[in-house]
């Protein structure tokens, strides 16, 4: 299956790599061109056991690619949104502005029937995944709230 992962931080990079290791055709997207440059060279910008090896093999086969251009996510059947959700200053609530921005930018590139999965601890991402009235394609939406400890993210995704 063709998959996109929007946001290639700790969670997104591991998620994209694990999906490619399972045989999916994965495009990882991030707004940080330095990070995307490192990932395209199979160099994760953080430590995670097993990740450098899977990045190297998955990028070599072509099953895992990285881009800063959201248009490269077009055609994917499932889009995982894994951008940051920092705590809002002075409250316990998650700041959803990055989730909102990523989903709004993704809408023009969605194919009919595509599934948008917010990999964030915020159910309201479902609301933001609804397209503008002018858009005929209405994406299916879901959220995934699984948490993995640092050092165990790849193992957890590879063996759910």
CA angle 36, 122, 103 (to 5 degrees): 50
In SS3 terms, 101-142 reads as HHHHHHHHHCCCCCEEEECCCCCCHHHHCCCCCCCCCCCEEE
Residue of the chain from 4, 16, 26, 98 that contacts ligand NAD (CB under 6 A): 98
Give the residue with the Cβ less far from ligand NAD, 59 or 67. 67
Binding ligand NAD (rule: CB under 6 A), the pick from 21, 29, 76, 78 is: 29
Asked if 82 touches ligand NAD (CB under 6 A), the answer is: yes
Asked if residues 26 and 65 have their Cβ atoms less than 8 Å apart, the reply is: yes
The binding track of 52-71 with respect to ligand NAD, each residue x by CB under 6 A or -, is --------------------
Q: Which of 17, 25, 30, 79 binds ligand NAD (CB under 6 A)?
A: 30
Q: Which of 46, 66, 64 is nearest to 54 (CA)?
A: 64
**Contact with ligand NAD (CB under 6 A) among 83, 116, 125, 129:** 83
Q: How far apart are the first and last CA of the chain?
A: 18
Residue whose Cβ sits closest to ligand NAD? 9
Q: Residues interacting with ligand NAD, by CB under 6 A? A: 6-12, 29-32, 35, 82-85, 98, 101-102, 105, 119-121, 147-148, 153
């Amino acid at each position: 299956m063709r998959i996109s992962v929007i946001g290639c931080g700790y969670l997104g990079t591991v998620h994209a790599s694990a999906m490619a290791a399972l045989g999916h055709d994965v495009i990882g997207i991030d707004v940080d061109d330095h990070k995307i440059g490192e990932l395209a060279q199979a160099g994760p910008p953080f430590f995670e056991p097993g990740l450098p090896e899977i990045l190297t093999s998955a990028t070599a086969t072509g099953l895992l690619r990285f881009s800063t251009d959201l248009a490269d996510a077009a055609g994917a059947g499932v889009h995982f949104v894994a951008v940051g959700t920092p705590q809002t200053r002075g409250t316990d609530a998650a700041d959803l502005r990055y989730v909102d921005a990523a989903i709004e930018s993704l809408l023009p590139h969605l194919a009919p029937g595509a599934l948008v999965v917010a990999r964030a601890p915020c159910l309201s991402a479902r609301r933001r995944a609804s397209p503008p009235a002018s858009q005929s394609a209405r994406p299916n939406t879901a959220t995934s709230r699984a948490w993995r400890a640092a050092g165990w993210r790849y193992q957890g995704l590879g063996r759910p």
